[in-house]
Chains A and B, each alone.
Chain A
Amino acid sequence: MAQRLALQRLLSLPARGSLASHGRALGTSAGRRSTFNVQDGSDFQDRVVNSPKPVVVDFHAQWCGPCKILGPRLEKLVAKLEGKVLMAKVDIDDHTDLAIEYEVSAVPTVLAMKNGDVVDKFVGIKDEDQLEAFLKKLIGA
């Protein structure tokens, strides 16, 4: 338990490079660090629900075409915000319980979460302007 709290504090620090050693974040470049794949229910609890920073949750599926376009588009914009917002990716076939808990019917479904609450949501693909507005609202509000 203590390990997880320490890790959490570490994750919220803007320090670069230290995360690469934990092997959870994707890649080592600054841009990719703010995005991670959710491993399981407790990982979601730690890194999303209990996250001190707002988190954008991208529910996607292997078989979903639009998801493959939205994912990278969203990741790019989240990276530009340099750690102010994190992005969690959830494959709904791997984590069906989580998807059902958050009432995901169609994909992509993106939730904006702050302090464990869902404060915003959209379903389906969006263009860059719409995504920027979505993210701005999340960090602003």
Chain B
Amino acid sequence: MAFDMSQVKELFRSIGVEYYALELDATDDGASIQQVLVELTNQRTVPNVFVNGTHIGGCDATYQAYQDGSLQKLLGDNQITEPYEYDLIIIGGGSGGLACSKEAATLGKKVMVLDYVVPTPLGTSWGLGGTCVNVGCIPKKLMHQAALLGQALQDSRKYGWQYEEQVKHNWEIMVEAIQNYIGSLNWGYRVSLREKSVTYLNSYGEFVEPHKIKATNRKGQVTYHTAETFVLATGERPRYLGIPGDKEFCITSDDLFSLPYCPGKTLVVGASYVALECAGFLAGLGLDVTVMVRSILLRGFDQEMAEKVGAYMETHGVKFVRKFVPVQVEQLEQGMPGRLKVTAKSTEGSEIFAEEYNTVLIAIGRDACTRNIGLQTIGVKINEKNGKVPVNDEEQTNVPYVYAIGDILDGKLELTPVAIQAGRLLAQRLYGGSSRKCDYINVPTTVFTPLEYGSCGYPEEKAMEEYGKQNLEVYHTLFWPLEWTVAGRDNNTCYAKIICNKQDNNRVIGLHVLGPNAGEVTQGFAAAIKCGLTKELLDETIGIHPTCAEVFTTMDITKSSGQDITQKGC
């Protein structure tokens, strides 16, 4: 009861409403008041809450009224309602924030977007557009492409190209070209916001009161702004190890894509797709790369595919140190790059690993930027364990006028197209009279490691957990891309599988492919899966020849049959 009482007081405090609390156990006629309350309201328990004379109920009822807005309506008469400066303020100018803002502006609303990049420990910063554009998908794919071109040069000789020169890679030329492209994207976003009359502030936004934020720019100048509705789209930043030397000497993906010097011999710490993709292209550019993995690769992804991704990288020169965690990074020599000494401990014993590297790249995960934006001031709940924001299926937080989209959502996918879709649909629901919700099921993804991995739907383990192994049929095959034959590249390495639900017409509930252009291959099948693709429909579809994708139309060996899938010829 005391807990409920303080909960209710906390609620009113968080929305800036003055309350009068009558403590029945501190009043002489407390018992008789309690009796009258029962007669009036049929409620014996405390707290018993009244707003402007209207009976609400206890703690739960009060929270409910706050959630559905009826509490605010009751309070409305008492408040001097000043019109809000904006209809919508969005904190974060990344994939989600920008998409939402432009859609809302198109629907005629007055919108403000705040975007501010807190520099990395090494001082790296970037412009408008968020992670994807500046330090994520875009530069990643371009560097992956640079590495693939290196491989293509090697293959070219087998196709008859003859040249004497030894081809080398120049890191600085690549980074300059990529940063120039990103610069044009940053500018493009500024222009598009201006064209849609969205106000843009390059300032750090934080809540100071309900419906009000404080915006601080780079020079420390402060302005305040109010809005009827807010959207949190602050994204994430790389997590550090928390060991001596990590922030002073190590870099993260935030620094890698604009690094003004070649990283040289690199240790990548982590087994996320960020770690593997970066390790992959660095090795592809000719650098000496080691990946230090604590336990498994690509947590959350299909593990059979993850191990194959790792195996390919290993046969192509990437070293793996498994079941070790770094405990210390020391600087032996300053420089561009310098020399660092890394000491690591085994997770299964007392073995120590020590080695020298030019660069250490930490890619062990990303943390949501929700801890320092004043959410506690207005009562927005976050998941204390990971800092992410729990929302309902309309992206609404526990505070009705505050929504959240993108990487910061608890339990949702961290992908640009998901954030964009969620942002657009949210604006349409808020201002366009739509009721369409974002569909988070069967979202396709691709990991751009040296051998790319595309997937849509369930990983095999999750499918077995959900449906039971006996109710699934998994079809699979190895394949040899035609382009690799003349080039003399690995056969029996590329792999594809589909997971079908026997109880539902052999519905395809998971599709996985490891091979070149995996992203391009997977996209179309994602649409088919959305249409309810079954094994039969897949078999009825005629393949395009010669492609890699056509393997999905002729898959007939099942895992359960135990038959050999090794390819022997055409």
Nearest Cβ on chain A to B137's Cβ, whole angstroms: 18
Which of B15-23, B50-58, B179-187, B205-213 sits within the interface?
B179-187
- A96–B184 CA distance with the chains assembled, in angstroms: 13
Query: Which A residues lie within 8 Å of B482 (CB)?
Result: none
Identity of the chain A residue whose Cβ is nearest the Cβ of B178 in the assembled complex: A63
B179–A100 CB distance below 8 A: no
Query: Which A residues lie within 8 Å of B179 (CB)?
Result: 63
- A107–B190 CA distance with the chains assembled, in angstroms: 13
> Per a CB cutoff under 8 Å, which of A61, A100, A105 touches B183?
A61
Interface size class of A (residues with CB under 8 A): 10 to 19
Q: Does A92 contact B (CB under 8 A)?
A: yes
Query: Which A residues lie within 8 Å of B180 (CB)?
Result: 62-65
Identity of the chain A residue whose Cβ is nearest the Cβ of B181 in the assembled complex: A63
Query: Which A residues lie within 8 Å of B187 (CB)?
Result: 61, 63, 92-93, 107
- A93–B179 CA distance with the chains assembled, in angstroms: 14
- A65–B186 CA distance with the chains assembled, in angstroms: 16
Query: Which B residues lie within 8 Å of A105 (CB)?
Result: 191
Identity of the chain B residue whose Cβ is nearest the Cβ of A105 in the assembled complex: B191
Extra contacts, 18 of them, besides A63-B183, A93-B186 (Cβ < 8 A), are A61-B183, A61-B184, A61-B187, A62-B183, A63-B180, A63-B181, A63-B182, A63-B187, A64-B183, A64-B184, A65-B180, A92-B187, A93-B127, A93-B183, A93-B187, A100-B190, A100-B194, A107-B187
A63–B191 CB distance below 8 A: no
Identity of the chain B residue whose Cβ is nearest the Cβ of A100 in the assembled complex: B194
Binary CB contact string for chain B from 163 to 193 against chain A (1 if under 8 A, 0 otherwise): 0000000000000000111111011001100
Identity of the chain B residue whose Cβ is nearest the Cβ of A103 in the assembled complex: B194
A63–B184 CB distance below 8 A: yes
Query: Which A residues lie within 8 Å of B182 (CB)?
Result: 63
Nearest Cβ on chain B to A6's Cβ, whole angstroms: 31
Nearest 8 CB-CB pairings of A with B = A63-B183, A63-B180, A105-B191, A63-B184, A100-B194, A61-B183, A62-B183, A61-B187
Nearest Cβ on chain B to A48's Cβ, whole angstroms: 21
Query: Which B residues lie within 8 Å of A100 (CB)?
Result: 190, 194
- A65–B187 CA distance with the chains assembled, in angstroms: 14
Please, how many residues of chain B have a CB less than 8 angstroms from a CB on the other chain?
12
Most buried by B among A63, A65, A92, A96: A63
Within residues 123 to 168 of chain B, which ones have a CB less than 8 A from any CB in chain A?
127
- A116–B570 CA distance with the chains assembled, in angstroms: 73
- A93–B220 CA distance with the chains assembled, in angstroms: 20
Within residues 52 to 66 of chain A, which ones have a CB less than 8 A from any CB in chain B?
61-65
Q: Is the interface of B mostly helix, strand, loop or mixed?
A: helix
Nearest Cβ on chain B to A25's Cβ, whole angstroms: 27
Q: Which residues of B contact A (CB under 8 A)?
A: 127, 179-184, 186-187, 190-191, 194
Query: Which B residues lie within 8 Å of A62 (CB)?
Result: 180, 183
Query: Which A residues lie within 8 Å of B184 (CB)?
Result: 61, 63-64
A96–B183 CB distance below 8 A: no
Nearest Cβ on chain A to B514's Cβ, whole angstroms: 35
> Mind listing 6 A-B residue pairs with CB under 8 Å?
A61-B184, A63-B181, A65-B180, A93-B127, A93-B187, A107-B187
Within residues 64 to 119 of chain A, which ones have a CB less than 8 A from any CB in chain B?
64-65, 92-93, 96, 100, 105, 107
Nearest Cβ on chain B to A24's Cβ, whole angstroms: 24
Within residues 34 to 64 of chain A, which ones have a CB less than 8 A from any CB in chain B?
61-64
Identity of the chain A residue whose Cβ is nearest the Cβ of B176 in the assembled complex: A63
Nearest Cβ on chain A to B117's Cβ, whole angstroms: 14
Query: Which A residues lie within 8 Å of B127 (CB)?
Result: 93
Nearest Cβ on chain B to A87's Cβ, whole angstroms: 22
Identity of the chain A residue whose Cβ is nearest the Cβ of B183 in the assembled complex: A63
Identity of the chain B residue whose Cβ is nearest the Cβ of A96 in the assembled complex: B190
Query: Which B residues lie within 8 Å of A93 (CB)?
Result: 127, 183, 186-187
- A100–B182 CA distance with the chains assembled, in angstroms: 19
Nearest Cβ on chain B to A124's Cβ, whole angstroms: 14
Query: Which A residues lie within 8 Å of B186 (CB)?
Result: 93
- A63–B258 CA distance with the chains assembled, in angstroms: 13
Identity of the chain A residue whose Cβ is nearest the Cβ of B182 in the assembled complex: A63
- A42–B180 CA distance with the chains assembled, in angstroms: 28
Query: Which A residues lie within 8 Å of B190 (CB)?
Result: 96, 100
Nearest Cβ on chain A to B342's Cβ, whole angstroms: 35
Query: Which A residues lie within 8 Å of B181 (CB)?
Result: 63
- A96–B179 CA distance with the chains assembled, in angstroms: 18
- A64–B183 CA distance with the chains assembled, in angstroms: 8
- A62–B194 CA distance with the chains assembled, in angstroms: 21
- A61–B188 CA distance with the chains assembled, in angstroms: 12
- A65–B184 CA distance with the chains assembled, in angstroms: 10
Identity of the chain A residue whose Cβ is nearest the Cβ of B179 in the assembled complex: A63
Identity of the chain B residue whose Cβ is nearest the Cβ of A63 in the assembled complex: B183
Nearest Cβ on chain A to B177's Cβ, whole angstroms: 9
Identity of the chain B residue whose Cβ is nearest the Cβ of A65 in the assembled complex: B180
Nearest Cβ on chain B to A61's Cβ, whole angstroms: 6
Nearest Cβ on chain A to B197's Cβ, whole angstroms: 12
Nearest Cβ on chain B to A40's Cβ, whole angstroms: 14
- A100–B127 CA distance with the chains assembled, in angstroms: 16
Identity of the chain B residue whose Cβ is nearest the Cβ of A104 in the assembled complex: B191
- A62–B258 CA distance with the chains assembled, in angstroms: 14
- A64–B177 CA distance with the chains assembled, in angstroms: 10
Identity of the chain A residue whose Cβ is nearest the Cβ of B191 in the assembled complex: A105
Nearest Cβ on chain A to B327's Cβ, whole angstroms: 41
Query: Which A residues lie within 8 Å of B194 (CB)?
Result: 100
- A103–B103 CA distance with the chains assembled, in angstroms: 22
- A97–B117 CA distance with the chains assembled, in angstroms: 20
- A65–B181 CA distance with the chains assembled, in angstroms: 10
- A96–B189 CA distance with the chains assembled, in angstroms: 13
- A55–B179 CA distance with the chains assembled, in angstroms: 31
Identity of the chain A residue whose Cβ is nearest the Cβ of B195 in the assembled complex: A105
Query: Which B residues lie within 8 Å of A107 (CB)?
Result: 187
- A93–B191 CA distance with the chains assembled, in angstroms: 12
- A65–B182 CA distance with the chains assembled, in angstroms: 13
Query: Which B residues lie within 8 Å of A61 (CB)?
Result: 183-184, 187
Nearest Cβ on chain B to A101's Cβ, whole angstroms: 11
Most buried by A among B127, B181, B194: B194
- A63–B175 CA distance with the chains assembled, in angstroms: 11
- A65–B127 CA distance with the chains assembled, in angstroms: 19
